[in-house]
Structure 1
């Protein structure tokens, strides 16, 4: 039977496997990018990613025209996963515990991802996907803080604007000379979290920007 008469265009039939192969290569490049940027930071090149993926550099360039395009795709995925974790935390009954667990999980991810820590310090790559994911994380963190405040378990005066500086302080610990990121940051996060807990006898926090 004639394949065209049977409605099976050979060109269309061949296109499906090609599309599948192209998508598989794209996912392979993204996974390699995640691993390379995590290990080497943002100075890693598309050549590094291609080598790690076991693909020709031309294949990588066809999917991502430059390092910025790849980094934005990789870190949009990373930040979307962090945003999803923050959203799930909003459903927990214990609001302060949910906030603390989210911070620990997000920082755990950063501890093993040099590129993510560099992105936190210097948002060099800021495409639409990254900006949207950052907004979602900020929104969900604001919800976590508001719930903990409403339950009376968060220290008076702490706001959602304090979350990013707290993460930056822990990142500074991770970056200490001679320190492995996984070695001591949990100790300092525990100290900070203890300071965030509500205790009636504590004096009010100074407002942001107040002179000391």
Structure 2
């Protein structure tokens, strides 16, 4: 019987092709970080100074580009979780994790969207969550054993907490750098089992002008229906 011929190893990209690939990745990281995953491959090609055909030759769709781009980001999330679990004070570890995750989301909207997405990078996200879940469970259990975390909190609640923080990061983005930091201590005060008093807020409140600007620039507001006043004018 003839021995089957092994498949040929993929040929390495030519130097110019590899340079274009790296330009696409750099441009995608910058565009996704600013706009999130709503950005298109056409916009990324324009930002990279390349034709869209060049982008599609390197990455046939947005899914393939996202999978290649956020591998480093996923490794960062795993490292943060491991560092949180290594803290002797489990409550301090949980505070560190939630705060650092918020910082990551504020710095990179693309990575934030991928972390909270069921559309892009699904397999990679599932693998990351499978690796992180037992660490989260250990962190929560230890914080409760140390009497610092409320007893009815569960590891699965961390995702909901991250969503709350993510919405605040998105809402304050472009209005005040770090505005979300005012609200994380409020949320954490609701999770701690005992305290002598509430946590002092280092970040000032949003004033009326800030709130108006945040509402006008908030993506969820822009994607929604027209403001009431505009609808009234259209009806006249």
TM-score over 0.5 for the alignment?
yes
Larger CA deviation: 168-177 vs 104-113: 168-177
Map Cα deviations across residues 93-130 of structure 1 (whole Å, 9 max, x no partner).
22111111111011111123333344455432143222
Q: Which has the higher contact order (CA 8 A, sep 6+)?
A: 1
CA RMSD of aligned residues (A): 3.0
> 1:72–1:130: 8 Å Cα contact kept in structure 2?
no
Gaps of at least 5 residues in structure 2 are 1-10, 197-236
Within the alignment, does 1:152 sit opposite 2:135 as a pair?
A: no
Structure 2 match to 1:51: 46
1:196 match: secondary structure: coil
The counterpart of 2:26, out of the listed 25, 28, 31, is 31
For normalisation by structure 2, the TM-score amounts to 0.66
The counterpart of 1:138, out of the listed 133, 141, 160, is 133
Paired residues, number: 187
> 2:85–2:138: 8 Å Cα contact kept in structure 1?
yes
Aligned in 2, Cα 1:102/1:24: closer, same or farther, shift over 3 Å? farther
> 1:32–1:53: 8 Å Cα contact kept in structure 2?
yes
Gaps of at least 5 residues in structure 1 are 1-15, 202-212
Structure 2 match to 1:93: 88
Map Cα deviations across residues 179-210 of structure 1 (whole Å, 9 max, x no partner).
73744321211011122222299xxxxxxxxx
User: Residues of 2 paired with 1:190 and 1:200: CA distance?
Assistant: 13
